[in-house]
Amino acid sequence: MKPFISICIPAYKRVQYLSRLLDSILMQTFKDFEIVLSDDSDDDSVRDLCDKYMPELPIRYFRNKPSLGTPANWNFAISKANGEWIKLIHDDDWFASPDSLELFAASARSFNKKFIFSAYSNYFESEKRYEKEGFPFGWKRRIIQSPVTLLAHNVVGPPSVTLVHQSVREAYDERMKWRVDMDFYMQLLAKEKDYYRINRVLVNVGVSDSQVTNSCINVPSVELPEGYLLLEKHGVKALSNILVYDAWWRLLRNMKIFSNEQLTGYVQKEWPPVILKMVRHLSACPSFVLNNGVTSKFAMFCSYCIN
């Protein structure tokens, strides 16, 4: 009989974190699950750890040779899942309490939604400090009415906080590694039109120097190609949403992209006129305007009205 939930874990070497996750699964009161563990490691560390847990946990282990990378490893784990629901969780994240999986399952049974996600806390590894992520007022309606608003602020969170029905056919775009989760959520919400959010913290998200975030944020060679791809996939019309426009303004400002030559240096394609005009407006602003949050926001608003 197929399990109700497949816990899909894309892993890579970090056994100290993976052990914490597996311990949190051991403690779960809900037991109708399988674990699909897709291992991208080039050594046996993850396999050896799994061997220790297999007597107590229903682990199906897969070793990737060669390594698939992010997010292909995520997609591979999901492709091997047998459960009615898919619970992707990264190896450095873990369940916040013994009833976390029980509450995910109860929400899946109680609400006619194919996309569910929970509140979560970030755990800063170096500081050993928890910080709960909020859900801004009014954003439930915003992302239902216009999923592209997630480009401005990913209020869903990382994939580890989500539960997705197995009938959902969207996959994580393997051309991306930084904006890949937002892209997935936008695709899903554009079709499903709704979701259910569990207000209680059910997942802790590990934050450390080993994460992909540190090699991507405000890095033009990552941000610009992925940003361009998102505009191709979801449409330039997304920039008519002032929150998305503001997100692009801040991104280009922070990366100091002030010329069309810089844009085409990273993406050798024709950029949308609205982005080219935004760059011209940024280049016309004195540094003291852009370096001040209030004046930069006003300049952005003027650019938005002109554009």
Place of tokens 């890579």: 12
Predicted confidence at residue 118, as pLDDT, reads: 98
Predicted confidence at residue 282, as pLDDT, reads: 98
Predicted confidence at residue 215, as pLDDT, reads: 72
Taking the chain (307 residues) in consecutive chunks of 10 residues, what is each chunk's mean pLDDT?
A: 96 96 98 98 96 97 95 97 98 98 98 97 94 92 94 96 95 95 96 94 91 79 96 95 97 97 96 97 97 97 97
Cβ atoms within 10 A of the Cβ of 297, count? 13
Predicted confidence at residue 239, as pLDDT, reads: 97
Burial bucket for residue 288 (CB in 10 Å: 0-12, 13-18, 19+)? exposed
Q: Where in the chain is the domain with CATH 3.90.550.10?
A: 5-206
Contact call for residues 198 and 104 (beta carbons, < 8 A): yes
The strand pair at 129-132 and 115-124 is best described as antiparallel
Cβ atoms within 10 A of the Cβ of 116, count? 22
The strand pair at 162-165 and 115-124 is best described as antiparallel
Contact call for residues 151 and 230 (beta carbons, < 8 A): yes
> What six digits make up the tokens of 259?
């010329």
Going by C-alpha positions, the residue among 130, 123, 169, 133 that lies closest to residue 154 is 133
pTM for this prediction: 0.94
Distance from the Cα of residue 219 to its chain's centroid? 17
Predicted confidence at residue 213, as pLDDT, reads: 67
Cα–Cα distance, 92 to 76 (Å, whole number): 18
Contact call for residues 7 and 25 (beta carbons, < 8 A): yes
Q: How many angstroms separate the Cα of 183 from the Cα of each of 1, 48, 241?
A: 33, 34, 16
Rg (CA), the chain: 21
Cβ atoms within 10 A of the Cβ of 270, count? 8
Work out the mean pLDDT of the chain and round it to a whole number. 95
Q: What CATH class has 5-206?
A: alpha beta
172-186: per-residue pLDDT in tens? 999 999 999 999 999
Q: Please report, to the nearest 10 degrees, the dihedral formed by the alpha carbons of residues 107, 113, 119, 120 taken in order.
A: 90
